[in-house]
Amino acid sequence: MSKDLITLLLISPLIGFLINGLFGKWLKNVSGWIASLAVLIPFIISAFFVFPAVRGGGELKAMLYEWIPIESLNIGFHVDALTTVMLLVITGVGFLIHIYSIGYMSHDSGRARYFAYLNLFVFAMLILVLGNNYLMMFIGWEGVGLCSYLLIGFWFDRKSATDAGKKAFIVNRIGDFGFLLGMFTLFAAFGTLNFDQVFGLAETNTYEQVFGASTLIVATLLLFIGAVGKSAQIPLYVWLPDAMEGPTPVSALIHAATMVTAGVYMVARSSILFNLAHTGVVVAWIGVLTALFAATMALAANDIKRVLAYSTVSQLGYMFVGVGVGAYASGIFHLMTHAFFKGLMFLTAGSVMHALSDELDMRKMGGLRSKLPITYWTFLIGALAIAGFPLLSGFWSKDEILHNAWDSGHQIIFGIGLLTAFLTAFYMFRLIFVVFHGESRVDSEVESHLHESPPVMWIPLVLLAIPSLIIGAIVGWGGEHSAIHNFLKGVTGFVAHHGKAEHSNPVPFMIISSIVGIAGILVAWFIYRSKTPVSEPTNPLHKLLANKYYVDEIYNAVIVQPIRGVSHYLFWKIMDVGIIDGLVNLTAFIIRGIGGSIRRLQTGVVQAYVVSMVIGIIIFLGYYLFIR
Amino acid sequence: MTINWQLLMPELIIILTFILVAIFDLFNSIQKTVAAWLTIVGCAIALYVSIDMLQVGMEGTEFSNMIQVDKYSLFFNVIFLVSTILVVLISMNYLGRTDRRQGEYYLLILLATLGMMLMASGNELIVVFLGLELMSLSLYVLAGYFQRSMASSEAGMKYLLLGAFASGFFLYGIALIYGGAGTTSIPKIASAITVNATSPLLLSGMFLLVVGFGFKVALVPFHQWAPDVYEGAPTSIAAFISAGPKAAGFAAFLRIFLEALQNIQSEWIVVVTILAALTMTVGNLVAIAQRNIKRMLAYSSIAHAGYVLVGLAAANKDGISSAMFYLLIYCIMNIGAFGAVILARTEDGESLMISDYAGLGFKKPLLALFMTLMLLSLAGFPPTAGFVGKFYIFRSAVESGQIWLVIIGAINTAISAFYYLRVVVAMYMREPEEELDFHPYPSLLIVALTLAAIGVVLIGILPSYFLSPAQISTFL
């Protein structure tokens, strides 16, 4: 594994972005293939060069180049097992989604712009996971946020899309602000942002106690605020459901498989700090509450993509439970399996939309099983995987997280997680029965040109369905001694058990979660196999869920409106217009006045110029000869 | 006496090119653009040879120690030749095919380039003066190249008058230093002057050299020729005057003051510091008041001379290398900015008012992109070259304790952002007041601008590849 290969891996999507961004106008249909190739190259490098090298115990920590001689402004790599897992997910799933997009976006006139953004996103995401310091991570973090904003608002002539883009951006800023403060804290404490140095100093307890004994607690919690924003956890999850306004492959890539998992990656990368600060328990609690909360909202949503969005929020919650209770490898394991099955489900949802002329309302679907067979079967695989059906990929990773939660002494978290698992199975199969089974409720006009997606779209579905089926068993078989645990062993630090030190027998946990998952599926089957979903909720609980607990309205009333009022009157009218603009205008007036009056010396008369030169000479010469 | 001709290869190539161009120019049957292509090829070969000599590390003195070829002079050769190639590229479409006199235009450019190279390698005040005059006389003629244009003739005349005046001071300074030190050879002056010598002859001579250089590189208060000349001269020549000759002035300025006069450093540092602060401040403040983009760029280039002077005021090894690095960057981005001005030509000639640029971002996206990139770099925004250049200059000054100068420089950078960004804002956020009919893009100009743009971005992203040659090339 050489430095040059990593460089190629990193810049390949950047080159794709430049080609599509600069010459997209002339590329027409080729742009999608160029963009796909730009992601295929990094995937090949990750899979055939980086992965074998890292599995053989290799690590690459190299300086790509020194930008300017300031410690953490330099571009350096940190490639280890954790990075490798992320690389494989980003480039592997990313490549398939790029291919799928060629079909999905084939009729869109802005596809060169679309693929340029998509490549730029992959580039930023690679920076995020490859960086050897927090600043590079932050640059990637901001980069993916920017691309997310651009792609959510991709159809900028739709007001809802631009609003959703802005919402995502603004909510993320809150998180990013936390991340930034966390970075400042780390820098103040350690004098560096380099991972190895920070972790080394933290372990030997040799750092500036900027906040006394709670320095690390403050730093990790601030960093975690960043993760809460980026990974859509309570209370900053509100942007993710709205982000579904973007093109569906974007939802699959950015808002399911990769970007939103950056927070989980960050916590896993900082495992040493979180372990030392004992703040994992906060992470786990936020995670499990988000998991439950989002799952309940998914119960009542009727928009197919929103169900998937809430489900993503909920699954991200599981990942945070994993990394929060110290089971870092299990959290990353779930991140990986989730990337496959959730990416798959988003793409199948896109396939449904493609067939139904962009219909999103599940109540206007039904009976699609026979019309869209590939879509149906691949979606079913994804749903079974997320529901924790025995031996499918989601079963292994979710079970490990719950098992670790129990073993680390968090029985309540375990219980809530189990309840969420039941709800997950239930709402996913509610979706399956409503969309694919029962009577067709599709508009007759739409139904007339109902069609299965072209191969360029369904082949990626099949290729994602395969790992959704088997990857869990392959890498997760054997619990503590499974392939993924062995692979990640060196990176994620020690597993911090707060309670019991040793692992209990995993088999009972597997049986319990199997039962829970299958029970959820069965309940959904009893309720929805033939029933049409009600159009308007009647009972209060259902109404509460369907309105997403009125959180958006509460935020609007409690935060947005007051801020807007204060900023309009106090900050804008008085502070900004009155004081700041006044000062700026005054300064500008003075400077302009000085500039203008000096300008008047510039008469254009040569004699005057000579006079001014001579005056200058006399003053300086006088200084030298007489005053000095 | 045998002469090591190999040492003088770049200069010899330029002279050979000059002769070839002069011969070709005699034949009226030959396309006049051949002169331009010959100039480019000659400069490119000289550039290649200079880079090669720089890498090999060929050094030595020639002509009884009058010429000192070292890494320092070779690095400056690279700056001059890159500038000259870019200027010739932006000139070709600007002059047009029909201009019968353009042979002499390129001849004068070659002569000026040769003069610059002599200034950088001069080991003797007299040689530096000869180089300076060779360069300046060519420039006076070039500034007045558009004979039919009143403004151009006026520019040439003004430049000549004021330039001659300044040359007088420069020569007088040399004479006084000879009186004080008994020699005009740079290394000998260095050994003749004792630390903190206070001979009035030396001090006055030193100061008159400051005046001479101050005029050539346009330091306040010796700057007033610059805006008038830049405005009146052909735009391609304004680009030329603002780039290479300024670098050449600094090449000799740095070498004379930090080598010959280093023992009276404490004397000249005061005046250099004051001049640097004054130049940055006045240049930027007056630039704000400009409505003509060429005048704005003239004041901006005055301000940039102030930034380079900060490197001299730092008076250490890093100061020299960062000034060299900054001059390289400055030449590329300033020629790029003037090139973008040439690109914005209408049927009625050039559009020089900043208000003419309104709405160009959508009508002429490529032009606006080039202009924006160059202006952002001049303003010093990361990740462009202008940012890293300023960064190293200011860092060297901080290291030598010139904190106040750096603060003034930083404030000036903020002020400068105002007028650079005003053009960008006009291009992207204003509606055009009247419909201007812009020329189609000339291909060679696009080539030149693309090269400059690549340079600006590349240096901004990979500064160390360009800085480390400068760091190993200082004479200290």
Chain A window 571-590: which residues touch B at a Cβ cutoff of 8 Å? 588
Handedness of CA A592, A595, A601, A604 (dihedral sign): negative
ipTM entry: 0.76
The 10s digit of each residue's pLDDT in B200-213 is 888 888 889 999 99
Q: What is the pLDDT averaged over residues A522-537?
A: 74
Residue B21 burial by CB count (10 A; 0-12/13-18/19+): exposed, middle or buried? buried
Closest CA to B356 of B266, B431, B306, B287: B431
Q: What is the pLDDT averaged over residues A10-32?
A: 85
Closest CA to A298 of A165, A385, A425: A425
> Is the pLDDT confidence value at A502 over 70?
no
Q: Is the peptide bond before B221 cis (omega within 30 degrees of 0)?
A: yes
Bridge partners for A79 per DSSP = A60
Which band of pLDDT confidence, cut at 50, 70 and 90, is reported for residue A531? low
Asked if A610 is an interface residue toward chain B (Cβ–Cβ < 8 A), one would say yes
Which residues of chain B does A621 touch, with a Cβ-Cβ cutoff of 8 Å? 204, 207
Asked if A605 is an interface residue toward chain B (Cβ–Cβ < 8 A), one would say no
Rounded to the nearest angstrom, the minimum Cα separation between A590 and chain B is: 10
Mutation pick from A68, A584, A611 vs chain B, by most beta carbons of B within 10 Å, is A68
- Nearest CB to B464: which of A65, A606, A620? A65
Question: What is the per-residue pLDDT for A500?
Answer: 44
- One-letter identity of residue A5: L
> Is the pLDDT confidence value at A146 over 80?
yes
Question: What is the per-residue pLDDT for B96?
Answer: 75
Least confident of A330-344, B244-258, B427-441: B427-441
Q: What is the pLDDT averaged over residues B138-166?
A: 90
Rounded to the nearest angstrom, the minimum Cα separation between B271 and chain A is: 8
Q: What is the pLDDT averaged over residues B68-91?
A: 94
- Nearest CB to B289: which of A599, A613, A620? A599
Rounded to the nearest angstrom, the minimum Cα separation between B267 and chain A is: 9
Q: Give the chain B residue nearest A628 (alpha carbons).
A: B267
The 10s digit of each residue's pLDDT in A211-254 is 877 888 989 999 999 999 999 898 888 888 888 888 889 988 88
A/B interface, count of CB pairs below 8 Å: 81
Cβ neighbours for A127, distance < 8 A, ≥ 6 positions apart: A10, A136, A139, A140, A143
- Contact (CB<8Å) A613/B215: yes
Which band of pLDDT confidence, cut at 50, 70 and 90, is reported for residue A72? low
Question: What is the per-residue pLDDT for A497?
Answer: 45
| pLDDT > 90: percent of chain A | 22
Which band of pLDDT confidence, cut at 50, 70 and 90, is reported for residue A71? low
Rounded to the nearest angstrom, the minimum Cα separation between A119 and chain B is: 20
| pLDDT > 70: percent of chain A | 94
Radius of gyration of chain B (CA): 21
Rounded to the nearest angstrom, the minimum Cα separation between A64 and chain B is: 11
Question: What is the per-residue pLDDT for A214?
Answer: 84
Q: What is the pLDDT averaged over residues B131-138?
A: 95
| pLDDT > 90: percent of chain B | 53
Question: What is the per-residue pLDDT for A498?
Answer: 42
Asked if B269 is an interface residue toward chain A (Cβ–Cβ < 8 A), one would say no
Rounded to the nearest angstrom, the minimum Cα separation between A611 and chain B is: 10
Rounded to the nearest angstrom, the minimum Cα separation between B301 and chain A is: 16
- Nearest CB to A591: which of B203, B204, B285? B285
Asked if B221 is an interface residue toward chain A (Cβ–Cβ < 8 A), one would say yes
Asked if A611 is an interface residue toward chain B (Cβ–Cβ < 8 A), one would say no
- Nearest CB to A612: which of B207, B224, B463? B224
Q: What is the pLDDT averaged over residues B338-351?
A: 79
- Contact (CB<8Å) A602/B286: yes
Question: What is the per-residue pLDDT for B279?
Answer: 93
Question: What is the per-residue pLDDT for A496?
Answer: 44
| pLDDT > 70: percent of chain B | 98
Q: What is the pLDDT averaged over residues A261-266?
A: 92
The 10s digit of each residue's pLDDT in A267-302 is 999 988 888 888 888 999 999 999 998 998 888 888
Where do the DSSP E strands lie in A13-150? 63-65, 75-76
- Nearest CB to B286: which of A598, A604, A610? A598
> Is the pLDDT confidence value at B358 over 70?
yes
Closest CA to A190 of A204, A203, A178, A206: A206
Which band of pLDDT confidence, cut at 50, 70 and 90, is reported for residue A491? low
What CA–CA distance (Å, rounded) separates B404 from B400? Answer: 11
Burial profile A464-474: b = 16 or more Cβ within 10 angstroms, e = fewer: bbebbbebbee
Question: What is the per-residue pLDDT for B349?
Answer: 67
Displacement of CA B373 from its chain's centroid (Å): 19
Question: What is the per-residue pLDDT for B393?
Answer: 93
Least confident of A173-187, A396-410, A485-499: A485-499
Handedness of CA B120, B126, B129, B130 (dihedral sign): negative
Question: What is the per-residue pLDDT for A55?
Answer: 80
> Is the pLDDT confidence value at B461 over 60?
yes
Q: Give the chain B residue nearest A597 (alpha carbons).
A: B286
- Nearest CB to A624: which of B207, B418, B464? B207
Q: What is the largest CA-CA distance in chain A?
A: 105
Closest CA to A288 of A96, A186, A420: A420
Token readout for B242 is 């603002």
Chain B window 145-174: which residues touch A at a Cβ cutoff of 8 Å? 158, 161-162, 165-166, 169
Which band of pLDDT confidence, cut at 50, 70 and 90, is reported for residue A366? confident
Q: Give the chain B residue nearest A602 (alpha carbons).
A: B224
Q: What is the pLDDT averaged over residues B367-379?
A: 92
Reported residue count of chain B is 476
> Is the pLDDT confidence value at A495 over 60?
no
